[in-house]
Amino acid sequence: MTQMQEPQPTSFLRSWAIQRRVIGALLMREVITRYGRKNIGFLWLFVEPMVFTIGITLIWTATRGAHGSDLPIAAFALTGYSSVLVWRNMPSRLVNSIEPNLSLMYHRNVKILDIFAARLLLEGTGVGISFFVLTLFFAGIGWLGLPEDPIKVVFGWIMLAWFGSALGMFIGALSHRSALVDKFWSPLAYLLFPLSGAAFLLETLPPEFREWIMLLPMIHGVEYVRDGFFGSHFTPYYDMQYMAICNLVLTLFAFSEIRRASRNLVPA
Amino acid sequence: MIQLQNVGKAYETRRGPRWVFRNVNLTIGRGEKIGILGRNGAGKSTLIRMISGIEQLNEGRIVSDMSISWPLAFSGAFQQSLTGVDNVRFICRVYNKNVDDVIALVDDFAELGSYMHEPIKSYSAGMRARLGFGISLAVDFDCFLIDEIVAVGDARFQQKCHEELFVKRQDRAMIIVSHSDGYIREHCDWAGVLAQQTLTTFPDMDEAYAFYKAHERE
């Protein structure tokens, strides 16, 4: 079942160059189809998540009574909602993303993985820039202090992005097999939001309940990001090794599902 | 040279895998022009999609040392909501070509004028065919895969295609798929017929046509 169709034997560097080119082309196309060239165009990429995050931050700040008094509420809201955006938006962008791109796969070098990669890069960049800019902005106006340990924040966020990408690729490929995936993902994402740790700290939960909820991989990422941001204000709970294993398993599932989808793919 | 060795393709259906064809063997040399005849659903399009590398094989292998075009067909290859120019840009990035050069060539060949700046979905079938052809000629391949499409154009487009493909690019290989033998008879060196779930090749066009006729009603 081999196909060798490049004019010269394909070295790793050569295929890397092709893949970079293809993903670049897909990125440009995605930006044009999604944001167009009207008004602020591709700036929506990070303005949109910023608007959401600002809204959530304002609401949570106004209702701060519900949370511990010592907590930097703006930092709590910003880290919480930015985390949700990563693990929720990445999969949402990949559900049903194969079908509308089938015509592009008429070009041999454009594969499902490239389409996924372009969308994930775009989504990750948008949410990442939003998180970064808002951190500086809120710090500038005195709503929060800069992260106590920026490296920790970045690492935690990368782990969340990995989780989002792996989950996204898995259900993105699965949605090509069954239309039910699309129907289930929206409610599931909605239900997971309150459980994902965005709106609470694990230390505030009863220990029996905390044990159960820590089965959710993303909660470890959120707690880790918050530990880096304002760790001196609370007791974080996380097991990054557990999260890494979950991510890895999910990534393997994703690749096997993509392989399956590629085998049965009919570009049209 | 492109070589198909015992190639087979099956599609998943509700009642298990269904073989479209098996044991397909075919060798196409540089500059060779071959036709593939077959009735609707015989697997003509599937076969050239596999040669172009956009669909996977279920068995056998395809070996090639030539660059092969995407299947020039009625559908595919373009993003409908994007303009002609944006599609050209995308394809240039994918195939590593200079955008301005290609746009100039495509403009000249396809004669779409201001339609180049309109979304593809507003194009007629003929316009889409012209654009697809124009881009593939500009990108340039050792082997062109042509799926029925030449038939949609008017006389002027057909004349241009003839000039570009069979006069200026005599040295390129070509695989033309059709259910009517006229075009293939006129342009191909030899032909294969897809019937009975496999490909039978004939060095002589008349023999191929006779075989095709005999199996047309299956």
| Cβ of residue B102 closer than 8 Å to a chain A Cβ | no
The CATH label, of 3.40.50.300, 2.160.10.10, 3.40.50.970, 3.40.50.720, for the domain at B1-67+143-153+169-218 is: 3.40.50.300
Domain ranges of chain B: 1-67+143-153+169-218, 76-140
* Count of domains observed in chain A: 1
3-state SS, residue A3: strand
Chain B CA closest to residue A104: B77
**pLDDT band with cut points at 50, 70 and 90 for residue B47:** very high
Range of the domain at A77: 12-263
**pLDDT band with cut points at 50, 70 and 90 for residue A6:** very low
- Check CB contact under 8 Å for A103 and B81: no
- Check CB contact under 8 Å for A29 and B90: yes
> Would A5 be classed as within a structural domain?
no
Chain A CA closest to residue B94: A22
Q: What pLDDT digit, counting tens, does each position of A63-102 carry?
A: 765 555 578 888 999 999 999 999 999 999 999 999 999 9
From the list A2, A29, A109, the residue facing B79 with the nearest CB is A29
Closest CA–CA distance from residue B93 to any residue of chain A (Å): 6
> Would A60 be classed as within a structural domain?
yes
Quick one: average pLDDT of A116-127?
95
Quick one: average pLDDT of A137-155?
93
3-state SS, residue A4: strand
Closest CA–CA distance from residue B187 to any residue of chain A (Å): 25
Q: What pLDDT digit, counting tens, does each position of A220-231 carry?
A: 999 999 999 999
Q: What pLDDT digit, counting tens, does each position of B87-101 carry?
A: 999 999 999 999 999
Q: What is the mean pLDDT of chain B?
A: 90
Chain A CA closest to residue B60: A1
B-chain residues within 8 Å CB-CB of A258? none
> Would A7 be classed as within a structural domain?
no
Predicted local confidence at residue B151, as pLDDT:
67
Is residue A117 scored above 70 in pLDDT? Answer: yes
| Cβ of residue A9 closer than 8 Å to a chain B Cβ | no
B-chain residues within 8 Å CB-CB of A3? 53, 56-57, 61-62
Predicted local confidence at residue A69, as pLDDT:
58
In this structure, of A74-78, B13-17, B115-119, the range with the lowest mean pLDDT score is B13-17
> Would A3 be classed as within a structural domain?
no
Report the candidate in A249, A188, A195, A3 with the shortest Cα–Cα distance to residue A80: A195
Predicted local confidence at residue A65, as pLDDT:
56
